Structure formats: structure tokens, C-alpha cells
């Protein structure tokens, strides 16, 4: 059973650039995220596939290794399965020495992509999540709750896949090895046996809770710290917050990509924040004082001088975003609102004003 093509999973061509891959991942991750599809195991599995594909294709080194394996046909659906050394013209999986091709060992490549193979990663798999962050939290820093889909060992069978009291027998598919060889051309790679799920044994009765899988899908809620001055695309790695390892092994990491939500009042330019405040025609002409909300929720009094033109920006020092020992400012752009209708008296008064000020009308 060959692995699905990562490019097909994300729906991009194998010539896709990093930005195209990122956009496809974000779109699919939002569509199939467990938060948007509660109690939908198919969506959860699809989300896991999407995350695995992105983790490989978004990493330049892993993508290079994956593309090399792909060109060699390791992910070709027509690849046939054969027991080790069972009458194939070429070497068996055990006999093949996975020599370096183009500087990479095939066994290492396969293991680095799928987290399994000749050299098992002692830890659980890493998890990836795209997390939407409110603008102010991203700017000022803070904590947000995130719900993650994880696979954990089944508590009923302790991960064995067998029902309580069931007996086990040697798997007839892999003869107890736990792996079977998939080969094409002059090489072969080992994959976990699909019949026994890599255990080498088959229970007389599968576990009723996990149906023999030895693991169950569940959700875990974690609080994630958002650093100050976070921008869309910023990544953080949380050690030990990923997929729990099998057999009591350490958990993998959680890799979070932040997506900053727009704010109705503020937008960002580097470490500066920009906002717009409206004034009426009289205030713009004669001048006024306005209360302006800052990023931290406080208000400052802004003096608008007489004759202020639409679009003029005023700078409030030190009220922007802090990053290290630097801090931006708040820029306030003034917009002038004009009345849509005037009373006859007001219209006459405005014409009189225009005449005295030398304005055409």
C-alpha cells in the first residue's frame, strides 16, 4: 500500500513554490481543522494528512529528499508489495544496503519523511497547527487556548490492539517481522505491515474500543503563549507538546504557525500602528481636541490644529508595538466627514462664508 502523494494531498503541482504551498496548506487546514469539524474522524484524518504533507514540502531539505524518493518511484501507486527475497529479480529489503543516492541514504530519507522505517524516531510525531490570533494579542503578547487533535494509546488495551483476555498469533502476512518490503526496480523499502500494524502478531479478538488499532483519536487543549510583535507566518516550537510517543516514549513537538486577524481600528506598519479618526468640516477648519484610543486600551488627547487637511497624520510617540529594546509609534490619520444635506439656512451661511473666504462655489 503506497503512501499518498504529498503534492496531491495539498492540490498543488510538484513545481509549486513555497508561497503556493503555504496558501494551499492554510486553506485546507482551515477547512478540515477539528474545531470546524467536531466529531468527524474523516476530517481529523484529512487534517493529519495535510499537516504531514506541509511539514515535508515546506522544509527545503525534506522536500529535496522527498522529491528524490518520488522520482525513484517510492510513492508510485503501482509499486508492488513482495515478501523479502520472494523471487524478485533484485535484492530483498534485508539484502539491500540503502546506499547513498545523490548524498542521501534511502532509509534515512524514508524515515525522515514518515517518521518510521529502518531507524525509528524514539519520540512521537511532531504536530503542526495554524492558530488565529487577535490583532491586539499578537501585538502586545498574551496567551490563547488551542484545541489539538492527537492520537493516544488506547487505555483499554494499553496499545496492544487486543481485547482483554485475547490470545495472539504470529501474523501470516509478515511472518512476525512487523514489516513488509515494497520494491520497484533495483531497491526496496520496508513499511509497517498493514495487517498487524507493525506488531508482528494478530489478536484473536480486537480491542472493542480502538478496533485493534491500539490507539484512539482525541483532543487536547493547551494554552499557547503568543510573543510580543507576532506577525502572520511566525512559528514557535513547543517541546513535548506534540504526538505522544508509543510505548511510553517521549512526545514530539508542537509547531505553531500564527495567523494574525485584522483589527477594525488598527493596522500595522512594522512596529508602528496606524488608525483613522473622523472629524467634521468645522473641526478640521477651526481645530479641535480628540480622544484617541491606543493599542493598550488607554486614551490620549490629540490636538488637531486649525486648517487640518484630510489624510494628515499625527504621531503619538511610544504608543506602537514593542520588540526588544525598540518600540514603534501610533500614527493617527485624520479623515474629514462632510454633511450630506444642508438646511436652506445652513446652505446660505456656507455660501456667505465661501464668498468672504474667497472660495469658488
Q: Is residue 248 part of a domain?
A: yes
Amino acid 188: pLDDT: 59
The answer to the question of residue 292 being in a domain is yes
Q: Are residues 325 and 237 in the same domain?
A: no
What cell numbers appear for 271 in the block?
A: 512596529
* Whole-structure pTM value: 0.55
- Domain, as residue range, for 137: 129-154+211-260
Which is more confidently placed, 91 or 155?
Answer: 155
**183 compared with 178, residue with greater pLDDT:** 178
- Residue ranges with strand state E in the chain: 80-82, 100-101, 104-105, 127-133, 142-153, 168-170, 179-184, 187-192, 201-203, 215-226, 235-238, 254-260, 267-269, 272-280, 288-293, 299-304, 313-316, 322-323, 326-327, 330-337
pLDDT digits (tens, 9 = 90+) for 338-347: 888 889 888 8
CATH number (domain holding residue 284)? 2.60.260.20
User: Are 272 and 319 contained in the same domain?
Assistant: yes
Mean of the pLDDT values across residues 194-211?
87
The SS3 assignment for 189 reads strand
pLDDT of 39 reads 77
Residue 327 and residue 273 share a domain:
yes
77 has pLDDT over 70: no
Question: What does the pLDDT average to over 297-322?
Answer: 93
Q: Predicted confidence band at 187 (pLDDT cuts at 50, 70, 90)?
A: low
- The answer to whether position 205 is within a domain reads no
Domain tally, the chain = 2
Do residues 336 and 350 touch, judged by C-beta distance below 8 A? no
H or E stretch at 179: strand 179-184
- Inform me whether the pLDDT recorded for 311 exceeds 70: yes
pLDDT in tens, 129-149: 889 999 999 999 999 998 888
Residue 236 φ then ψ, to 5°: -130, 145
CA angle centred on 100, ends 94 and 106, rounded to 5° = 55
Same domain for 296 and 274: yes
In a domain, 47, yes or no: no
Q: Are 308 and 287 in contact (CB under 8 A)?
A: yes
If you ran DSSP here, which 8-state letter would residue 262 be given?
A: P
* DSSP-derived secondary structure letter, 79: P
What's the rounded mean pLDDT across residues 201-226? 88
Give yes or no: residues 138 and 251 share one domain: yes
| Residue 89 in this model has a pLDDT that exceeds 60 | no
The answer on 330 and 311 residing in a single domain is yes
Residue 72's pLDDT band, with cuts at 50, 70 and 90, is: low
Q: Which residue has the higher pLDDT, 192 or 30?
A: 30
Question: Within this chain, do residues 144 and 226 fall inside the same structural domain, yes or no?
Answer: yes
Amino acid at each position: 500500500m503506497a503512501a499518498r502523494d504529498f503534492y496531491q494531498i495539498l492540490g498543488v503541482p510538484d513545481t509549486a513554490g513555497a508561497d503556493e504551498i503555504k496558501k494551499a496548506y492554510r486553506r485546507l487546514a482551515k477547512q478540515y481543522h477539528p474545531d470546524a469539524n467536531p466529531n468527524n474522524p474523516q476530517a481529523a484524518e484529512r487534517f493529519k494528512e495535510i499537516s504531514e504533507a506541509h511539514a515535508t514540502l515546506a522544509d527545503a531539505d525534506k522536500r529535496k529528499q522527498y522529491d528524490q524518493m518520488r522520482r525513484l518511484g517510492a510513492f508510485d501507486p503501482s509499486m508492488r508489495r513482495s515478501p523479502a527475497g520472494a523471487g524478485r529479480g533484485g535484492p530483498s529489503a534485508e539484502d539491500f544496503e540503502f546506499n547513498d543516492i545523490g548524498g542521501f541514504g534511502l532509509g534515512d530519507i524514508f524515515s525522515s519523511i514518515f517518521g518510521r522505517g529502518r531507524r525509528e524516531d524514539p519520540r512521537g510525531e511532531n504536530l503542526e497547527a495554524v492558530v488565529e490570533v487577535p490583532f491586539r494579542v499578537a501585538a502586545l503578547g498574551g496567551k490563547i487556548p488551542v484545541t489539538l487533535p492527537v492520537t493516544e494509546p488506547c487505555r483499554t488495551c494499553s496499545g496492544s490492539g487486543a481485547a482483554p483476555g485475547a490470545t495472539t498469533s504470529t501474523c501470516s502476512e509478515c511472518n512476525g517481522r512487523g514489516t513488509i518490503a515494497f520494491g520497484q526496480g533495483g531497491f526496496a523499502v520496508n513499511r509497517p505491515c498493514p495487517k498487524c500494524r507493525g506488531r508482528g502478531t494478530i489478536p484473536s479478538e480486537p480491542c472493542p474500543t480502538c478496533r485493534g488499532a491500539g490507539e484512539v483519536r482525541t483532543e487536547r487543549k493547551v494554552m499557547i503563549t503568543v510573543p510580543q510583535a507576532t506577525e502572520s507566518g511566525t512559528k514557535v516550537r513547543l517541546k513535548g507538546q506534540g504526538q505522544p510517543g508509543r510505548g511510553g516514549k517521549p512526545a514530539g513537538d508542537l509547531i505553531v504557525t500564527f495567523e494574525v486577524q485584522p483589527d477594525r481600528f488598527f493596522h500595522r506598519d512594522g512596529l508602528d500602528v496606524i488608525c483613522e479618526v473622523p472629524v467634521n468640516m468645522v473641526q478640521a477648519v477651526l481645530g479641535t481636541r480628540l480622544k484617541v484610543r491606543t493599542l493598550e486600551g488607554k486614551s490620549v488627547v490629540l490636538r488637531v490644529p486649525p486648517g487640518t487637511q484630510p489624510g494628515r497624520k499625527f504621531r503619538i510617540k511610544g504608543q506602537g508595538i514593542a520588540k526588544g529594546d525598540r518600540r514603534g509609534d501610533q500614527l493617527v490619520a485624520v479623515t474629514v466627514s462632510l454633511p450630506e444635506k444642508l438646511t436652506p439656512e445652513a446652505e446660505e451661511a456656507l455660501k456667505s462664508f465661501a464668498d468672504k473666504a474667497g472660495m469658488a462655489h
